Chain A
Amino acid sequence: MRRLLDTALTYKEYLLLTVCVLLSIFLLAAQDSPQIRRIRSITVVSIGFLQDAFGFVPNYFDLREENRVLREQNVTLSEELSRLREAAMENARLRKMLELKEVGRYEYVSANVVGKNFQLLRNAITIDVGDEEGVAANMPVITHAGLVGKIMVTSSRYAVAQTLFHTEMRTSAKVQRGRADGILVWEGGASLKLKNVAKTLDVQVGDEVVTSEYSSIFPPGIPIGVVSKTHEITGDLFQTIEVTPRADLYRLEEVFVVTQVPDTSRVAVEQRASQ
């Protein structure tokens, strides 16, 4: 026994490494067990609280720039509001004429970004709203500029959202002008890639890309970005389309959560079909 203990002490570094590696592998394998979810929830609350408490530090440095941007936005929005009022009145008249039903609008919960978790190819943000504000997993996260991502995990007061710059993020998107549908993914770099768009479809640089009706998570029509590059590879059926996101995903400070709960029956049937 004594000898065993001596040997263990001699190789204590290797023993610790083995324990750490085994624990990590266990966690990787355990994935989404209720215990892990509970620990994760506690960590999100603790880290969120700390980040919230120290959130004034970068805000102080950014205040001047933020004020300038807000003033600019204020002018633009006032102008846009006036145009929208006109458009809404015109829309109401036309709807009445066509006897269309009023389309339900979504509700938003505003949130501050209290933490950013930028790891290699896994970018996420922590926001200061959670279960108490009605935020739930898979709800879309947006800014005034466009789509940011979706909620992954929530706790009572905080939530973690996966941004578009995350390799596991898949978004059904549409090129607004040409109506070409595709799947938006991120494979690194400063732009996203719209995949599965046939070469025959008309897509041009500068075209607006929005969420499509095929998404079971995102409401249709949310702006995502602008087509920045298109190119074709000989022998490939699809064209490669690069999209620059409208929202500055590395400089997020305030976001909105669209409190739209995904249609669970649709998600379930789509998951079954893809298996």
Chain B
Amino acid sequence: MHTTAISTFVTLLLFLVHSYLVPYLTLVDVVPDILLIWIVYLAIRRGQLVSTGAGFVIGLVLDLSSGESGMLGLAALTKSVGGFMAGYFFNENRMLQVLSGYQFIVAVFVTSLLHNVLYFLIFLQGSGMGWWDTFLRYAVPTSLYTALLALLPMFIFSRKYVS
């Protein structure tokens, strides 16, 4: 109960960070996905079930707050699949090693890449934009940038738990 309350509070806090600080981190038009980093963290810390559910709820709130009429459910779908995928990195016995090591970065990158592939597969349906071009132009840089940003929590964990 206590852990769930803290997770909910952190999620709300990250929504605010997503709204206010992430636009300042935008490189050209590549936006890091800090909420996905949080979903991967939840997956490693609390398992596939929690990360899938959290992915769905976070995605749904993102969809609803975007105010769009055409793509409601897209972020919910991609983030719940992302959460499910990230759940494969869950290992109860090596939780802290994963969070404080390169595995966390790999988990964020792989999850983000899969998330973006699924996102663009649906989002670009019926549009004139090329899937491959968009994938190279957005999906890969976004995943790299998100993974780069995941270095920050990784270093915090490595200082806190490994030393």
Instruction: Select the stretch in A28-36, A104-112, A199-207, A215-223 that faces chain B.
Output: A28-36
Contact A120-B21, Cβ < 8 Å, known A23-B76, A50-B12, A54-B16: no
- Residues B67 and A122 in contact, CB atoms below 8 Å apart: no
B64 in the interface, Cβ–Cβ < 8 Å? yes
- Residues B56 and A40 in contact, CB atoms below 8 Å apart: no
- Residues A120 and B116 in contact, CB atoms below 8 Å apart: yes
- Residues B80 and A122 in contact, CB atoms below 8 Å apart: no
A57 in the interface, Cβ–Cβ < 8 Å? yes
Q: Whole-angstrom distance between the alpha carbons of A54 and B59 in the complex? A: 21
Contact A21-B81, Cβ < 8 Å, known A50-B15, A119-B62, A250-B26: yes
- Residues A20 and B52 in contact, CB atoms below 8 Å apart: yes
- Most B CB atoms within 10 A — which of A12, A28, A159? A28
Contact A51-B70, Cβ < 8 Å, known A16-B52, A120-B116, A189-B28: no
Q: Whole-angstrom distance between the alpha carbons of A122 and B62 in the complex? A: 11
Q: Chain B contact residues: over half helix, strand or loop, or mixed?
A: helix
Chain B 44-65: CB-based contact to A (< 8 A → 1; otherwise 0)? 0000110011011001111111
- Residues A115 and B29 in contact, CB atoms below 8 Å apart: no
Q: Which residues from chain B contact A233 at a C-beta distance below 8 Å?
A: none
A24 in the interface, Cβ–Cβ < 8 Å? yes
B1 in the interface, Cβ–Cβ < 8 Å? no
B3 in the interface, Cβ–Cβ < 8 Å? no
- Residues A36 and B52 in contact, CB atoms below 8 Å apart: no
B89 in the interface, Cβ–Cβ < 8 Å? no
Q: Whole-angstrom distance between the alpha carbons of A123 and B67 in the complex? A: 11
Kindly identify, within residues 217 to 271 of chain A, every residue whose CB is under 8 Å from any CB belonging to chain B: 250-251
- Residues B15 and A189 in contact, CB atoms below 8 Å apart: no
- Residues B123 and A121 in contact, CB atoms below 8 Å apart: yes
Min CB distance A45 to B, Å, is 10
- The 7 closest A-B CB pairs, nearest first, are A160-B67, A27-B73, A24-B77, A43-B64, A153-B67, A20-B80, A28-B73
